[in-house]
C-alpha cells in the first residue's frame, strides 16, 4: 500500500468518527427547537432520537458481514447518497414519521462509516502504532463534539432552521465521499484471496469475550456517570446548572487532552498492562468523585477521571483487533457492537435506579461497572494473544 493511499484511508477514518460525534453530541443542542418545530414535548422528541442510536447499532452489527460482501468503496458512496436523501428529508418534510426515518438513516450511515473507519485503522497499522492511531482517530469524535455544538448555537441564535445544522454535518460526509473516490480500499472476503490481502479466519479466543464485556461495561458506565452528574451535584451540593455544566465540560476537556497524550504514550507500553492500570485509576477517580463531601474536590476528581479514562475504550478495541494475526472486521465490529449496546442501555439501566434510589445510586452503579472493566482487563492478561502474535 502506498503512503498516499494509506493517508487517504486514514483521513476517511478520522472523518468517520467526526461524523458520528457530530450526529450524537449535537442532539442536545437542537432537541428543543425540533420539539417546537413539530409541536411536541421535549420528552417525546428525546424518544424519537432513539432511531438514531438504533440505526448506528444495527449498521455496526450487520456491517461485520456486509464488509465481506459489499466493497468498502461502494458502501461509502452509497452512504453519501443516503446522507443527501436524509438531510433533504429533514429540510423539506414536516412529518414526524419522516423525521424518525431520516434519523434512522443518519444512524445507519454513521454506523457504516464508523465501522469501516475502525476497520481501516486496524487493518493498515500494526501493534502499538495501531493503538495510538486508533486513539487519535477517536479524538475526532470529541473534536466534532466540541465544534458542532458551537456551530449549532450560532445558527440557532440567529434563528436559522435547525435542519441546517444537519446540512453542516453533511459536509463531513462530503469530505469522506471525495476522499473515497480518490482512494483504493482493501478487498475482503473471497475476492481478497486474489485481489488483495485476505482477512485470515482465525479462532478469536476467550480473550475477545472479556474485551467485549469490558467494552459494554465501560460505555454503559461512562455514559451512565456523565448523564447523571448534573442531577447529582445540583441536588447533593446545591450547585447551579452552570456549575454542573462546567463539571461535564471539564470531563470532556480533560478527556480530549488525555486522548492526545496517550496517542503518543501508548507506543511505549504493553497495551494490556497500561489499560489495566488506566481502568484501576479511573475506578478510583470515579469513587473519589461520588464519595467526597467537599464540592471543591469535584473538579479535581472529574478532571482526573476524564484524563485517565480517555484511552480505555480505544485500547480495548485495539487489543481485540490484535487477538488474531490479521485484523478481522467481524471481530472489530463485534466489540464495537458491544460498546454500542452499552450506549443503548444507558437510560434503560440507570433510569429505574435514579427513580428508585436517586442519582448517587446511578453513579455508584457506574463505578461498579468501571470495576468490572478493571477485572476483565486483569483476567485478559492471562489469555491475551496479542503478545504471541508479535503485536507487542
Residues contacting 12, CB < 8 A, separation 6+: 76, 116, 117, 120, 176, 179, 180, 183
Q: What pLDDT score does 389 carry? A: 55
Whole-number pLDDT of residue 238 = 87
- Contact between 142 and 93 under an 8 Å Cβ cutoff? The reply is no
Question: What pLDDT does residue 283 have?
Answer: 98
Q: What is the pLDDT of residue 295?
A: 92
- The pLDDT tens digits of the residues spanning 220-274 come to 999 889 878 888 988 899 888 678 878 877 888 888 889 889 888 887 888 899 9
Residue 300 confidence (pLDDT): 96
pLDDT of 11 higher than 90: yes
| pLDDT at position 302 over 60 | yes
Cell numbers standing for residue 211: 474485551
Query: For the chain, what is the radius of gyration of the CA atoms?
Result: 21
Phi, psi dihedral angles at 18 (to 5 degrees): -65, -40
- Residues with Cβ within 8 Å of residue 241, at least 6 apart in sequence: 230, 234
The pLDDT of residue 44: 67
- In terms of Cα–Cα distance, which of 217, 216, 202, 219 is closest to 330? 202
For 259-280, write each residue's pLDDT tens digit. 889 888 887 888 899 999 999 9
- Which DSSP state fits 186? -
Q: What span, in angstroms and rounded, lies between the C-alpha atoms of 361 and 353?
A: 7
Q: How high is the pLDDT of residue 48?
A: 74
Residue 107 near residue 51, CB atoms below 8 Å? yes
User: What's the start-to-end Cα distance of the chain, in Å?
Assistant: 22
Q: What grid cell was written down for 31?
A: 432537541
Q: Give the confidence band of 199 by pLDDT, cuts at 50, 70, 90.
A: very low
**Do 166 and 24 contact (CB within 8 A), yes or no?**
no
The mean pLDDT of the chain is 85
Looking at CATH, the fold of the domain delimited by 207-383 is given as: Growth Hormone; Chain: A; (1.20.1250)
Domain ranges of the chain: 3-195, 207-383
Mean per-residue pLDDT, 149-159: 82
Lowest mean pLDDT among 65-69, 176-180, 377-381: 65-69
8 A C-beta contact, residue 220 and residue 42: no
Between CA 373 and CA 175 the distance in angstroms is 36
Q: Are 247 and 298 in contact (CB under 8 A)?
A: yes
User: Do 3-195 and 207-383 come out as alike in CATH topology?
Assistant: yes
Distance CA 312, CA 236 (A): 29
- Has residue 108 got a pLDDT over 90? yes
pLDDT at residue 177 is higher than 90: yes
pLDDT in tens, 329-372: 778 778 888 888 887 787 778 878 988 898 899 999 999 999 99
| pLDDT higher than 70, residue 192 | no
Residue 190 has pLDDT above 60, yes or no: no
Beta carbons of 211 and 339 less than 8 angstroms apart: no
Tell me if the pTM is above 0.85: no
**Which residues fall within 8 angstroms of residue 47, CB to CB, at 6 or more apart?**
none
Let me know: does 392 contact 301? Beta carbons within 8 Å. no
Q: Which three cell numbers stand for residue 367?
A: 463505578
Q: What is the pLDDT of residues 132-148, one digit of tens each?
A: 777 788 788 877 867 78
pLDDT band at 193 (very low <50, low <70, confident <90, very high): very low
What is the distance of C-alpha 115 from the center of its chain?
A: 10
380 pLDDT higher than 90: yes
Name the percent of the chain in helix, strand, coil, to the closest 5: 85, 0, 15
Give the count of beta carbons closer than 10 Å to the beta carbon of residue 35: 17
Q: Using an 8 Å Cβ cutoff, are 336 and 60 in contact?
A: yes
| Residue 101: predicted pLDDT | 94
Say which CATH class 3-195 falls into.
mainly alpha
Mean pLDDT over residues 88-100, rounded? 91
Reported as a pLDDT band with limits 50, 70 and 90, residue 122 is confident
Amino acid at each position: 500500500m502506498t503512503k498516499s493511499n494509506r493517508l487517504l484511508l486514514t483521513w476517511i477514518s478520522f472523518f468517520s468518527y467526526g461524523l458520528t460525534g457530530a450526529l450524537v453530541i449535537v442532539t442536545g443542542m437542537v432537541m428543543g427547537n425540533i420539539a417546537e418545530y413539530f409541536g411536541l414535548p421535549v420528552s417525546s422528541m428525546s424518544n424519537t432520537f432513539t432511531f438514531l442510536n438504533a440505526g448506528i447499532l444495527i449498521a455496526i452489527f450487520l456491517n461485520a458481514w456486509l464488509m465481506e460482501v459489499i466493497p468498502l468503496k461502494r458502501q461509502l458512496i452509497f452512504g453519501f447518497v443516503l446522507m443527501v436523501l436524509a438531510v433533504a428529508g429533514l429540510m423539506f418534510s414536516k412529518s414526524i414519521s419522516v423525521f424518525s426515518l431520516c434519523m434512522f438513516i443518519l444512524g445507519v450511515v454513521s454506523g457504516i462509516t464508523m465501522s469501516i473507519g475502525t476497520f481501516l485503522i486496524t487493518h493498515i497499522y500494526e501493534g502499538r502504532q495501531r493503538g495510538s492511531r486508533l486513539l487519535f482517530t477517536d479524538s475526532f469524535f470529541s473534536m466534532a463534539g466540541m465544534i458542532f455544538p458551537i456551530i449549532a448555537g450560532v445558527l440557532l441564535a440567529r434563528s436559522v432552521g435547525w435542519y441546517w445544522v444537519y446540512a453542516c454535518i453533511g459536509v463531513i460526509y462530503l469530505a469522506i465521499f471525495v476522499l473515497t473516490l480518490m482512494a483504493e480500499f482493501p478487498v475482503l472476503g473471497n475476492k481478497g484471496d486474489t485481489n488483495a490481502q485476505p482477512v485470515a479466519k482465525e479462532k478469536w479466543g476467550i480473550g475477545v469475550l472479556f474485551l467485549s464485556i469490558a467494552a459494554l461495561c465501560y460505555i454503559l458506565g461512562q455514559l451512565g456517570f456523565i448523564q447523571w452528574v448534573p442531577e447529582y451535584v445540583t441536588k447533593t451540593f446545591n450547585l447551579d446548572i452552570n456549575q454542573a455544566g462546567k463539571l461535564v465540560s471539564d470531563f470532556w476537556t480533560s478527556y480530549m487532552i488525555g486522548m492526545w497524550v496517550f496517542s503518543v504514550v501508548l507506543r511505549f507500553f504493553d497495551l494490556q498492562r497500561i489499560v489495566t492500570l488506566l481502568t484501576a485509576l479511573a475506578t478510583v477517580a470515579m469513587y473519589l468523585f461520588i464519595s467526597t463531601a467537599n464540592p471543591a474536590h469535584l473538579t479535581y476528581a472529574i478532571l482526573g477521571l476524564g484524563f485517565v479514562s480517555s484511552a480505555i475504550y480505544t485500547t480495548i478495541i485495539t487489543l481485540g483487533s490484535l487477538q488474531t494475526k490479521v485484523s478481522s472486521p467481524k471481530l472489530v465490529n463485534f466489540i464495537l457492537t458491544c460498546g454500542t449496546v452499552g450506549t443503548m442501555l444507558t437510560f434503560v439501566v440507570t433510569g429505574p435506579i435514579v427513580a428508585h434510589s436517586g442519582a448517587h445510586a446511578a453513579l455508584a452503579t457506574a463505578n461498579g461497572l468501571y470495576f468490572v472493566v478493571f477485572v476483565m482487563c486483569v483476567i485478559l492478561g492471562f489469555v491475551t494473544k496479542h503478545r504471541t502474535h508479535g503485536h507487542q
